[in-house]
Structure 1
Amino acid sequence: MTALASSPQPIHITEVGLRDGLQNEPVVLTTEQKLSLARALVDAGVREFEVTSFVSPRAVPALADAAELVSALREIPDLHLSALVPNVRGAERALEAGVDSVVLFVSASESHNTKNVNRRVAESLDAFTQVARLLEGSGVALRGAIATAFGCPFEGNVPVTAVETIARRFANLGATHLSLGDTTGMATPPLVTERVARLREVVPGLPLTLHFHNTRGIGLANVMQGLSLGVDRYESSIGGLGGCPFAPGASGNIASEDLAYLLLEMGFDTGLDLDGLIGAARLARDLMGRPLPAQVSKAGPRLALNACDAVPTAQG
């Protein structure tokens, strides 16, 4: 880890708070509230957003304004906006809205895929062929995402072969990136090592992104393992917002400010301003009307000092 930590290697962070962070929240934000949060994140240096999902508003009401949100964010220069789509109709809506990349997602386990999109895995993969054809010549990139890549809340362990099979399909479709999703926080450092190593053998030309949840408190430990393997792309959510609405116990993603703090202290370049992220996280807290699970936005940076008279002096 020492050699990697001393390197100025840039680490790419995609902010997923506007999509994964909000999709399962009881408070549904207005488009303008989402834009205020997005602007705060942009001010903090965020340039890549997984901004929404073009799914049925009945299934995920919090994302019913997908087209309006993308259209408004297009007015901010130098942003990369990606959006999840479950099928060709969702991809058509995403293209009309003006996204930069479309994210096709499928679960590595049959039961979760059925709960998530009401399809078998094979059906989802077959439908992706239509989406890939739609994107040809459009200038919009195709990205792949594998949910439950480290374990399934219904089936338990997910064989690495299931992840391999999906990864190959995405590579054949021309995907430019592949994200491994830790949907319910079942990833562990040994599993991270196994999956990254195997996929580098199976799809060596496909850059990997790691998407961890902190459900069991080791989200950043898994990031550390990813860093030791040379993975330089991660997804995170401001304030630690998020969780899958179709997976029991799927608490929040790793927090963007916690991840940025870890990387900053390790000497990595993220292009993000930690104080700005903390401000954005506090805005997210106020918008949701409740404390959020992130840590750094509560405690502040390591060298955030307090006045001595802010606490009582011990007596006796």
Structure 2
Amino acid sequence: MSMRTPQVEPDPTLPPEITIYEVGARDGLQNEKAVVPAAVKAEFIRRLAAAGLATVETTSFVNPQWVPQLADASEVLELLGDEGLGPRRPVLVPNERGLDRALEAGVGAVAIFGSATESFARKNLNRSVDESIAMFAPVVERAQGAGLWVRAYVSMCFGDPWEGPVPVDQVVSVAERLMDLGCDQLSLGDTIGVATSGHVARLLDALHDRGIGVDRIGVHFHDTYGQALSNTLVALRRGVTVVDSSAGGLGGCPYAESATGNLATEDLVWAMAGAGVRTGVDLEALLGTSAWMAQHLGRPSPSAVVRALTPAPA
């Protein structure tokens, strides 16, 4: 018999409450080869919200040629209606054209996505780091002017498949430049999942020393090497309270072949529940949602908790 809930033993080294920034509908699905219908995406977002995930990234206004899976961004937001708007429903925008579409749709929050390395900036944005920051500047300025909440993602914070190790100072420098544009929150991306605990602590300390405190930071770990949850715990013990995760552990990165799925939201919720940390998420509802999406995708969820608690189909 599997235990449906962990035994609760409060961990005083962790924050009493965290905010889960759910990326399954965007980061999770962007890698899928078969296009998921807009109606299924909208229903997925509704179910995630109903399970208690207050912050759900909905889609991305990128060029459909780059990420065909997200070509239906406007349609998804139309299907969601008011549920897809507001400061807890961010959309990704790479440039001013993307921002125009986001503003037209009436969204309340946007995210830009930079890179700590030149190689990935070229692959992901077809620009150098300097050029990409110049491209983001008017996006952030106009978004802030329109009263939107703005997040900055930094990819490849802990290692890059083309460049190898990424110096902490280099990451801090790019992060600082993005936050200087006026962003509200910084998400540190371990795009290929190579971060380890000491590396996470060192980067957070270095950002703190440059005036970017944990109150403005979210962490985004991939589980390629099985380190996502342990790295998250290090960040939480340093005072971070925003964690990016993906329902069912969906996702990867279309431009980095060695990147596997994000930290699974269920694995995070289970760990937090056992430690007495509030997430506001109903694990049973979330399990049902991930099992439903796994059926749509035609394969089992990579999440360990989903596998432990969801009977395999006969």
The answer to whether the superposition gives a TM-score over 0.5 is: yes
Quick check: 79-88 or 12-21, which moved more? 79-88
SS at match of 1:34: helix
1: CA distance between counterparts of 2:92 and 2:86? Answer: 20
Q: Match for residue 154 of structure 1?
A: 162
SS at match of 2:281: coil
2: CA distance between counterparts of 1:139 and 1:281? Answer: 33
SS at match of 2:33: coil
1:251 aligns with 2:252: no
SS at match of 2:203: helix
SS at match of 1:297: helix
Q: Match for residue 42 of structure 1?
A: 49
Out of 57, 70, 78, the position equivalent to 2:77 is 70
Out of 150, 174, 186, the position equivalent to 1:178 is 186
2: CA distance between counterparts of 1:161 and 1:73? Answer: 41
Q: Match for residue 34 of structure 2?
A: 27
- Contact 1:240–1:254 (CA under 8 A) maintained in structure 2: yes
Alignment TM-score, normalising by the size of structure 1: 0.91
2: CA distance between counterparts of 1:234 and 1:243? Answer: 16
Paired AA for residue 217 in structure 2? L
1: CA distance between counterparts of 2:114 and 2:160? Answer: 13
- Contact 1:215–1:250 (CA under 8 A) maintained in structure 2: yes
Q: Residue 139 of structure 1: CA displacement?
A: 1.1
Q: Match for residue 308 of structure 1?
A: none
SS at match of 2:89: strand
2: CA distance between counterparts of 1:22 and 1:188? Answer: 26
Q: Residue 4 of structure 1: CA displacement?
A: 2.2
Q: How does 1:230-241 map to 2 (within 5 A)?
A: 230-241=239-250
1:122 aligns with 2:130: yes
SS at match of 1:209: strand
Q: Residue 137 of structure 1: CA displacement?
A: 2.5
Q: Residue 78 of structure 1: CA displacement?
A: 7.1
CA deviations on 1:10-37 (whole Å, 9 max, x unpaired) are 1000110111101111121111111221
1:82 aligns with 2:97: no
Flag the 1:16–1:32 CA change in 2: closer, same or farther, 3 A. Answer: same
Unaligned runs of 5+ in 2: 1-9
1: CA distance between counterparts of 2:87 and 2:94? Answer: 23
Out of 237, 242, 263, the position equivalent to 2:272 is 263
Identity of aligned residues (%): 43
Q: How many residues align?
A: 300
2: CA distance between counterparts of 1:214 and 1:26? Answer: 20
- Contact 1:179–1:210 (CA under 8 A) maintained in structure 2: yes
Regions of 4+ moved over 3 Å = none
RMSD: 1.8
SS at match of 1:211: strand
Paired AA for residue 195 in structure 1? L
- Contact 1:47–1:78 (CA under 8 A) maintained in structure 2: no
1: CA distance between counterparts of 2:210 and 2:103? Answer: 30
Unaligned runs of 5+ in 1: 305-316
Alignment TM-score, normalising by the size of structure 2: 0.91
Structure of larger gyration radius: 1
1: CA distance between counterparts of 2:120 and 2:144? Answer: 29
Out of 103, 113, 121, the position equivalent to 1:95 is 103
Paired AA for residue 271 in structure 1? G
Q: Residue 79 of structure 1: CA displacement?
A: 6.9
- Contact 2:87–2:109 (CA under 8 A) maintained in structure 1: no
Q: Match for residue 310 of structure 1?
A: none
- Contact 1:53–1:85 (CA under 8 A) maintained in structure 2: yes
Flag the 1:203–1:84 CA change in 2: closer, same or farther, 3 A. Answer: farther
